[in-house]
């Protein structure tokens, strides 16, 4: 082969090698771009299998981001700087079922629903009642926490309250926390009695414990806390049945039907196997959990 032919062959080989290198680099560059897009979005195909079939598309990849207001002991609060309470214990059971890591965000109560609407959380856990007004902007799971309103009084008077009707008489005085659902309930159920709303919960307890009031209407778990610190000063009425039971639910972004369906199934399972009751008794310090809806 001549020198000129050899030079031409070398040039052709160099061109082929250069073209092959260019194709290889282009292919690598395409893979990098795709991976960067998926990681930045925190969603897409990379997260659909990481939610344990829960139907949640997490706003933060790999994490179940929960909005809470940690100021309601024993339901949710800070202990040693760490989240604690009934809701927190239950969420620690829920997160693994979704295949995600629990990430609790603590902020003001009034910012929870707007935060959910603004895609700051996957779920809000603060015992919200699913009112019609709230249903307009967020969706709700089935109930996960009960709120039982009960009657309590000084022990001797409590023994005489064998029926709520005993208190619905002129001359009877009933106290409750001012502005609370307990006060509203007392005014509705005991129209013949005098109902006083007091601005401090402990002050209301003391009115009943000292006999200055015939009874107090209060949530069961608050009564348990006061009893624990003031042994023998107050007792639940002889008729121990709750006057009313209300419920709190999880809130999720509007339209996420798959996540709501998962939460409903999971909560039914935990209610049926006794997990809800076990955690509730431990966190609230009560002997019995108020009745939950039995439609599981």
Residues 159-193 have pLDDT tens digits of: 999 999 999 999 999 999 888 878 989 999 999 99
What is the per-residue pLDDT for 290?
A: 87
The structural domains of the chain, with segments of one domain joined by +, span: 148-244
Helix, coil or strand: residue 74 = coil
- Kindly state the helix (H) or strand (E) to which residue 71 belongs, with its residue range: strand 71-72
Helix, coil or strand: residue 196 = strand
Assess whether pLDDT exceeds 60 at residue 13.
no
Q: What is the pTM of this model?
A: 0.65
What is the per-residue pLDDT for 131?
A: 83
Give the model confidence (pLDDT) of 62-96 as tens digits. Answer: 999 999 999 888 999 999 999 999 999 999 999 99
What is the per-residue pLDDT for 181?
A: 78
Architecture of the CATH domain 148-244? 3-Layer(aba) Sandwich (3.40)
- Measured distance CA(43)–CA(248) in Å, rounded: 29
Give the model confidence (pLDDT) of 123-151 as tens digits. Answer: 999 998 888 889 999 999 999 999 889 99
In 3-state terms the chain splits into helix, strand, coil percentages (rounded to 5) of 45, 25, 30
Assess whether pLDDT exceeds 60 at residue 36.
no
Helix 86-98 to helix 275-284 angle (10° resolution) is 150
With bands split at pLDDT 50, 70 and 90, how would you rate the model's confidence at 50? low
**More confident position, 195 or 11:** 195
């Amino acid at each position: 082969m001549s020198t000129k032919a050899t030079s031409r062959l070398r040039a052709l080989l160099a061109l082929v090698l250069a073209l092959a290198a260019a194709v290889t680099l282009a292919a690598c560059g395409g893979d990098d771009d795709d991976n960067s897009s998926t990681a930045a979005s925190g969603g897409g195909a990379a997260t659909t299998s990481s939610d344990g079939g829960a139907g949640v598309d997490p706003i933060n990849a790999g994490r179940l981001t929960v909005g809470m207001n940690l100021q309601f002991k024993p339901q949710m609060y800070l202990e040693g700087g760490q989240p604690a309470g009934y809701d927190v214990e239950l969420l620690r059971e829920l997160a693994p079922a979704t295949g995600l890591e629990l990430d609790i965000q603590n902020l003001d109560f009034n910012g929870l629903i707007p935060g959910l609407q603004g895609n700051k959380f996957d779920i809000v856990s603060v015992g919200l009642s699913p009112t019609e007004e709230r249903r307009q902007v967020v969706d709700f799971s089935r109930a996960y926490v009960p709120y039982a309103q009960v009657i309590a009084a000084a022990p001797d008077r409590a023994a005489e309250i064998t029926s709520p009707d005993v208190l619905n008489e002129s001359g009877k005085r009933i106290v409750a926390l001012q502005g609370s659902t307990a006060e509203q309930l007392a005014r509705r159920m005991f129209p013949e009695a005098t109902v006083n709303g007091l601005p401090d919960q402990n002050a209301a307890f003391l009115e009943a414990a000292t006999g200055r009031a015939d009874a107090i209407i209060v949530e069961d778990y608050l009564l348990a806390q006061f009893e624990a610190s003031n042994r023998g000063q107050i007792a639940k009425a002889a008729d121990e049945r709750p006057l009313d039971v209300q419920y709190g639910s999880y809130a999720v972004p509007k339209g996420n039907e798959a996540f709501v369906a998962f939460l409903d199934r999971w909560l039914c399972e935990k209610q049926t196997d006794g997990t809800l009751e076990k955690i509730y008794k431990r966190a609230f310090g009560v002997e019995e959990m108020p009745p939950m809806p039995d439609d599981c």
